[in-house]
Structure 1
Amino acid sequence: MAIKLIKISALYFLISVVLGLIMSITHDYRFTPVHVHMNLLGWTSLTLAGILYYHFPALGQSLSGKIHFWLHNIGLPIMMISLFLLLYLENDAFGMGAAIGSTVTVLGIIAFVWNICVNLKAS
C-alpha cells in the first residue's frame, strides 16, 4: 500500500505541475484551486501517508488504512474533476460532484487520522 500511495502521489504531482505550467503560459489562473488541492491532497498528503505506511507497515495493513486508501483515492479524483469542470464550464451543477468528492476525501482523511492515533506505535 505504501508504494501504491507514493506512485499515485507522483501522478498528482505531475498533473498539478503541468496544470500550473499551462496556467502560467496562458495567464489564466482560474484553475488555481484545482492546482493547489492536487498538490496538497494528492502529492503532499499521499506521499507523507505512503512514507508513514512504509515505515510503519501495520498502518497500511489495518482496516482503517485500507479505508483511507480507497476513500482518499476515490474522493479526490471526483472532487478535482468536478472542480475543474465547475470552473471551466462555469456550471454550478458540478458543485455537487465537488461536494461529494470532498466529503469522501474528508472521510478518508478521518480514517487516516484514526489509523495514526490507534495503530501507530513506537517499535
Structure 2
Amino acid sequence: MAIRLIQISVIYFVIGVGLGLYMSIVHSGDLMPVHAHVNLLGWMSLALAGVIYSLYPQLTSTKLAKTHFWLHNISLPVMMLSLAFFIEGVTSLGLLISIGATVLVIAIILFALNILLNINRKA
C-alpha cells in the first residue's frame, strides 16, 4: 500500500504541474483551486501517507488503511473533476463537489484514526 500511495501521488504531481503549466500558457488562474487541491490532497497528502506507511508497515494491514486508500482515491478525482467543470460553468455539478469533499474528509479522518489508534501496535 505504501508504494501504491507514493506511485499515485506522483501521478497527481504530474497532473498538478501540468495544470499549472496550462494555466501559465493560457494566462488564466481560473483553475487555481483545482491546481492547489490536486497538489495538496493528491501529491503531498498521498506521498506523506505512503512515507508514513513505509515507516510503520503495521498500519497498512488495518481496515482503516484500506478504507482510507479507496475513499481517498475515488473521492479526490470526483471532487477535482467536478470542481474544474463547475469553474468552467457547469454549475449542475455543485452537489458532486460537496459529495466528493465530504467523502474525502471522511477518508482523511480514517487515516488519522488509523495512526492514532494503531501506530504503537506491533506488526
Query: Which bin holds the TM-score, normalised by the shorter protein?
Result: over 0.9
CA separation in 2, counterparts of 1:40 and 1:60? 22
Q: 2:4·2:50 contact (CA, 8 Å) conserved in 1?
A: yes
Alignment of 1:60 onto 2:46: no
- 1:80 Cα shift? 0.4
- 1:91 Cα shift? 2.4
Match of 1:109 in 2: 108
Instruction: Tell me which amino acid in the other structure corresponds to 1:10.
Output: V
Q: Where do residues 10-25 of structure 1 align in structure 2 (5 Å cutoff)?
A: 10-25=10-25
TM-score with structure 2 setting the length: 0.96
The size of the alignment, in residue pairs, is 122
Q: Which runs of 5+ in 1 are unaligned?
A: none
- 1:122 Cα shift? 7.9
Match of 2:71 in 1: 71
Q: 2:58·2:121 contact (CA, 8 Å) conserved in 1?
A: no
Match of 1:27 in 2: 27
Match of 1:46 in 2: 46
Q: Alpha carbon RMSD of aligned pairs, Å?
A: 1.1
TM-score with structure 1 setting the length: 0.96
